[in-house]
Structure 1
Amino acid sequence: MTEHLRADPDGIARAAALLAAGEVVAIPTETVYGLAGDARDGRAVARVYAAKWRPAFNPLIVHVADAGAAEAVAVFDDAARALAAAFWPGPLTMVLPLREDAGIASLVTAGLETVAVRVPAHPVARTLLAAFGGPLAAPSANPSGRVSPTTAGHVLDPETGLGGRIAAVLDGGPCPVGVESTILGRSAPGWQLLRPGGLAAEAVEALLGQPLAAPEPSADQPTAPGQLSSHYAPRVPLRMDADAARPGETWIGFGEDGPLTLSASGDTVEAAARLFDVLRRADARGQPIAVARVPQAGLGAAINDRLRRAAAPR
């Protein structure tokens, strides 16, 4: 049985105790629910991979309590510190050189010399990190390649989630951002956008004073999470940038009213927060899915990235 824990002092203490014992626990963040394990414990990290059926060559994000804890794991330069000061806590992940004395299990980095690290903003995640007192490796709390969870109920679902496969879920309510973090990596002479996400690339570029290098095509050996060509996928086929539904398709709209609409007002922030929940409800109908066009600006870039991967051949 998977325990369903309230986000109160008793629930947080129980979650911290399970993590200290090497178990894995789904936790809320502002982006999506993450499946957390002690990033220093190879057995715990292996349980994360096993619960998700996640390929072991796909690295994980290390979640830490603050920027100081991040610098104990990764090597920062002045530019990385400026990004951390501006956007942490929040939906930004940086891929940086791994410190030799970081103590991070090699499974977390998939054998790479870099580590993905972030400081989450969700108050429950922050309280748990403080109670646990160490770094947590936490990919999204869903079967690998499938639709990410934005509520505890999504995680607990035994068919589309991880119910019965993990020790517990710490219920912090719906995730306010709704898509995974933006991932940046160093790229001469500046930074590269490795994955669009909950922090708009325009905000990062405004701080840096230069454009981000574009993401490279997906490869069989990813350098950061979320780069596999097929990911975030429902069980049924999906078609994006559609003008209308074809016979037998479930329609997901944008900028219009309807039973399955990302945002009736055409707001990409609202659409990002609703994306995975709407995809799950459409998937439950068992018909192919058609999704309306979503503009690329702001969080639209992250939405379209997820839809492209959801629509990719599997």
Structure 2
Amino acid sequence: MSTVYDCADQQARAAGLTAAAAAVRSGQLVVIPTDTVYGIGCDAFSTGGVRALLRAKQRGPDMPVGVLVGSWSTIDGLVLGVPDQARALVEAFWPGDVSIVLHHAPSLAWDLGSTKGTVMLRMPLHPVALELLREVGPMAVSSANTSGQPPAATAEEARSQLGDSVGVYLDGGPSGEAVPSTIVDLTGDEPVVLREGAVTVDAISEVLGTDVTAN
């Protein structure tokens, strides 16, 4: 059985964050509000958790799962190196709507899908998500919907699709317009926008001081 916690109520929010943290640490799935859409997540280092996440979404490892972090400094321990362009994007847009693809540290024992040695990182601008991330560390997170269905903009929409495959639902109210994050790939010789979302290609280009192409 899953439990929904209304994070507008302070007591329920505290109880929900405690329950969510316990679920994440035990390899279970949780649904959390973010600044874009609701996300389904687990401990980024839990292979079983990531596999359960993919099963819940009814999709395979060919579409790897991104990682949410609770602070700027967290990324230093997750990637092979943080280039100046990544630092610039972090300083300009985090917490916020830009996801950055970098080469992950080869020593990390995680399996996020067919990543080809890369990881997509983002720090969300939502107090509930940030509080949980700062408690449990990096989480593998994808949009809270089954494959082919619209991303959930509310906890109830997420629950109607994911049901009891998720142990804890943190209800942070409607997420607003369901605009995804902008994904910037910094693993090649030149930065590439893989998906233009809430932040425009022009805004990315301005921060990086170069014309960025969109894939």
TM norm. shorter chain > 0.5: yes
2:175 corresponding residue in structure 1: 175
Matched residues in 1 for 2:210 and 2:107: separation? 33
Q: CA deviation at 1:146?
A: 1.4
Conservation of the 8 A alpha-carbon contact between 1:94 and 1:183 = yes
Matched, 1:136 2:139: yes
Residue 151 of structure 2: aligned partner:
148
User: 2:103, 2:187 within 8 Å by CA — same for their partners in 1?
Assistant: no
Instruction: Determine if contact 1:88/1:120 at 8 Å carries over to the other structure.
Output: yes
CA RMSD, 1 decimal: 1.5
Kept in 1: contact 2:38–2:155 (CA 8 A): yes
Of structures 1 and 2, the one scoring higher in RCO (CA 8 A, sep 6+) is 2
Structure 1 residue 18 corresponds to structure 2 residue 7: no
What is the CA deviation profile of residues 100-133 of structure 1, one whole-angstrom value per residue up to 9, with x for unaligned ones? 2333x12x1425111111111111100111122x
Q: Percent identity?
A: 35
Q: Which residue is 2:10 aligned to?
A: none
Distance across 1 between alignment mates of 2:33 and 2:167: 15
User: Contact 1:65 / 1:129 at 8 angstroms: preserved in 2?
Assistant: yes
Q: Which amino acid aligns with 1:129?
A: L
Please list, as runs of the form range in 1=range in 2, the aligned pairs for 1:1-314 lying within 5 A after superposition. 1-7=1-7, 8-74=13-79, 75-103=81-109, 105-106=110-111, 108-132=112-136, 134-157=137-160, 161-176=161-176, 178-186=178-186, 189-215=189-215
Relative to the length of structure 1, the TM-score reads: 0.64
The change in CA–CA distance for 1:142 and 1:20 in structure 2 (over 3 A counts) is same
CA contact (8 A) 2:102 2:187 kept: no
Separation in 2 of the partners of 1:45 and 1:171?
22
Q: Is the 8 A contact 1:72 1:102 kept in 2?
A: no
- 1:29-68 CA-to-partner distances (Å, cap 9, x unmatched) read 0001110011101001111001111121111110011111
| 2:97 counterpart letter in structure 1 | P
Q: Which runs of 4+ in 1 moved over 2 A?
A: 186-190
Q: In structure 2, give the amino acid aligned to 1:148.
A: P
Q: Structure 2 CA distance, aligned partners of 1:82 and 1:88?
A: 10
Q: Which runs of 5+ in 1 are unaligned?
A: 216-314
Is the 1:65–1:130 contact (alpha carbons within 8 Å) kept by the matching residues of 2?
Answer: yes
| Residues 2 and 100 (structure 1), Cα distance of their counterparts in 2 relative to 1, 3 Å cut | same
1:187 CA drift (Å): 6.4
Gaps of 5+ in 2: 8-12
Measure, in 2, the Cα distance between the counterparts of 1:211 and 1:177. Answer: 28
The question of whether the paired residues in 2 share the 8 Å contact of 1:192 and 1:214 is answered with: yes
**Cα distance, 1:188 vs structure 2:** 5.2
**Mapped contact 1:183–1:193 kept (Cα < 8 A):** yes
Instruction: Tell me whether 163-172 or 86-95 shows the greater mean CA deviation.
Output: 163-172
Q: Is the 8 A contact 1:64 1:136 kept in 2?
A: yes
Q: Tell me how far apart the structure 2 counterparts of residues 111 and 95 of structure 1 sit (CA, whole Å).
A: 10
Q: CA deviation at 1:2?
A: 2.1
Q: Report the CA distance between 1:207 and its aligned residue.
A: 1.1
CA distances 1:152-208 after superposition (whole Å, capped 9, x unpaired): 111111xxx112322121111111452221101026543101111122222111112
